[in-house]
Structure 1
Amino acid sequence: MIGNTIRELRKEKKMSQSELGKFIGVSQTTVTAWETGRAEPSSTFVSKLADLFNVSTDYLLGRSDSKKEPYYELTEKEKNDIAVQAEKLMDGIESGENLNFYGEPATEEQKERLLIAIQTAMEMNKRKAKKKFTPKKYRD
């Protein structure tokens, strides 16, 4: 069931249902409905979930045991480069005016979550770029 897969992948990313919903543009109630099997995500959201969790849509839908799309998977070097870029971005944010959430200084937990969000977004963009610029003969 797709709901179980979504739950497992969300927990691997250490995300709450609310955080997942915000990332892909749905409410926490919708994520709960997907995870409990009361509803299923549309194809648009299946694609967004696959990008976010770095898995194939076939894996999400239970059509494949393979999580990855082989060529588009990021290498360890690419992941490390993204992590360095994300850290630099966070340093830049923190070195400017204080990083605040709702008028209060950001906690270490909030900063860590922001870093995870930045890295995830950067990884998604890198995979999309790799997919876009892959010569046709190498595409799936």
Structure 2
Amino acid sequence: MTVFDRVKKLADKQGISINTLEERTGFSKNYLYSWKKKVPSGNNLKVIADYFGVTTDYLLGRTDNPNPIQERVPDDLDKMLDNAMTFGGKPLTEIDRAAIRAYIEGRQSSK
């Protein structure tokens, strides 16, 4: 599967055409179609990955999982926080746990 095939699949899931995607991301008309035969630059690949909320590795075919971190974080994070200690060797407080979880999940802490 080419980079273009993966982009087309993602566009189809959102019910948009490749031309619409090009307009929304600022690419020239038919630019994404050129990805059928060539690998895009890193910056352009990142634009599309950010638009769809997937990894560039997914677009490049290095993984079939578009969001590997999002699927792993809840289970692994809970286990990590259960075993985590402060710098002084004391268990984390609930406030510390919430702040760490928010940071790792990419949202603002509610301190």
For normalisation by structure 2, the TM-score amounts to 0.57
Task: Verify: 1:22 aligned to 2:23, yes or no.
Answer: yes
For 1:56, the aligned partner's letter is T
Which residue in 1 is equivalent to 2:44? 45
> How does 1:86-105 map onto structure 2 within 5 Å?
none
Letter in 2 for 1:50: A
Root mean square deviation, CA, Å: 2.5
Q: How many residues align?
A: 75
> CA offsets, 1:85-110, max 9 Å, x none?
xxxxxxxxxxxxxxxxxxxxxxxxxx
Corresponding residue for residue 64 of structure 1: 63
How many percent identity over aligned positions? 27
Q: Which runs of 5+ in 1 are unaligned?
A: 73-128, 135-140
Q: Contact (CA 8 Å) 1:24, 1:45: kept in 2 or not?
A: no
Deviation at residue 69 of structure 1 after TM alignment: 4.1
- Report the residue type matching 1:27 in the other structure: S
Offset at 1:50? 0.8
Runs of 4+ in 1 over 3 A off after TM superposition: none
Q: Deviations over 1:16-67 (max 9, x none)?
A: 1221111221122111222xx2333211111111111111111111001111
* 2:31 alignment partner, SS class: helix
Q: Under a length normalisation based on structure 1, what TM-score does the superposition of the two structures give?
A: 0.46
Unaligned ranges ≥5, structure 2 = 72-104
CA contact (8 A) 1:21 1:27 kept: yes
Supply the distance in 1 between the matched residues of 2:9 and 2:29 (Cα, whole angstroms). Answer: 16
Letter in 2 for 1:54: G
Structure number with bigger Rg: 2
- CA–CA distance in structure 2, aligned partners of residues 20 and 4 of structure 1: 14
